[in-house]
Structure 1
């Protein structure tokens, strides 16, 4: 569904043009909390889902407002790939992910390992591994497991933890970082 504007330009085209012309100062860790409170005019998230082969690169927030179409795309991209089920992802988690990506100053998209997990998927994974929480925030659409080739798990975890806005788990041996909008905490897996 593409929303045409009166000039014939699509909403996505307008958003792309705005992003291309936006000039913002590179954020620092000391600015992390301000970014989540709304400092900055544009929020963008880029991800690749290796299980589905899908790529997402979207501006989902402009000047204090979430863009419904972009949020729907994010929800679909972060669905449980085993069941195809998608839920409304908690936008606080998306903000942490986007903020961390911006702080790391990389244009590389995240490799999404896990976003939403259905209760059935979570139970199946829990039966295989002791590292899967029975009441995982993944089942509430509040968590993501992510990887970047260009950044270490330490760098990713530090960037996400700078927001002091949720949980950050660093899994060095498995080379991924868990980010969520639950209670503020950090751990190593």
Structure 2
């Protein structure tokens, strides 16, 4: 099942990142560049780097100019993340290209790749919440609270994994069909953001 493959790849990407724990460390993707596995590893590496960018920008002592620079970097990273999700959906569109949807087929609330996006973020939450349960500089109440949250996150991963596998099975059988809407982000587009195109006037 794809969820088991994805979860293993996400775990590997997160652990690989934390061997260096450096936002700027170059990614070394171990999977064939034409494979779905390559895209999944890339997706989670992007998410992991962005997770740590978000930590940095929330430092209350950060200088305003530095904070703005990080915010702009996060915006660029988020665009890369969105593009990668769309690459994953393109993979599935190609995979299911010859599937004929049944008359009763239904569309899902989100595409396979956006569900996988949630699974990648969940892997990060699980990793970092587990790290909190291993801290030695906090009291037992903190450990117990984080352990309780970790158990809920693990249950969420189980449920989401099952849902993704069922969605892909339903698409493959024609009981559901894919319909992908490209993200039409406006704030990064100088022709659509009035603050940006207004500067040209």
Q: What TM-score, normalized by structure 2, do the two folds share?
A: 0.22
Greater helix percent: which structure? Answer: 2
Larger Rg: 2
Q: Which has the higher contact order (CA 8 A, sep 6+)?
A: 2
Greater strand percent: which structure? Answer: 1
Q: What TM-score, normalized by structure 1, do the two folds share?
A: 0.22
